[in-house]
Amino acid sequence: MLEQFHAGEVSGRRNSGTGFFTDFTVAAGMARPLSAASPIGNVWADVEGVRYPMTFLVFLRNGYAALLEGAAVDADTSSVDFGHAEISLHP
């Protein structure tokens, strides 16, 4: 998964007010496709500007990361700049 994130490009990002959606483009051949079921989830992280940890899902298309969704728990995220916010993954 990290190989795909490093090889891919962000093609869009939207702040929904309760989290965000980030679209990815990963060129075939730049990273190995994954054989995991989509979405991949159960990831939590602290995000700068958000009071409580957020949960994350990665949606795959043909084995490649296509969309990262971050969802806040009981928080308004409309003022958070997710493109520059510090993110600390939970173990």
Question: Which tens digits make up the pLDDT trace of 26-79?
Answer: 987 889 999 999 999 989 999 999 999 999 999 999 999 999 999 999 889 999
pTM metric for this prediction = 0.89
Left (φ > 0), alpha (ψ -120 to 50) or beta: where does 63 sit?
A: left
32 in any annotated domain: no
58 in any annotated domain: yes
63 in any annotated domain: yes
User: How far, CA to CA in Å, does 13 sit from each of 20, 69, 91?
Assistant: 7, 10, 25
Quote the domain boundaries for residue 66: 2-23+39-89
Please report, as a single letter, which amino acid is at residue 59.
Answer: F
47 in any annotated domain: yes
Complete DSSP assignment for 5-42 = HHH-EEEEEEE-SSEEEEEEE--TTSSPPP-S-SSEEE
- How many domains would you assign to the chain? 1
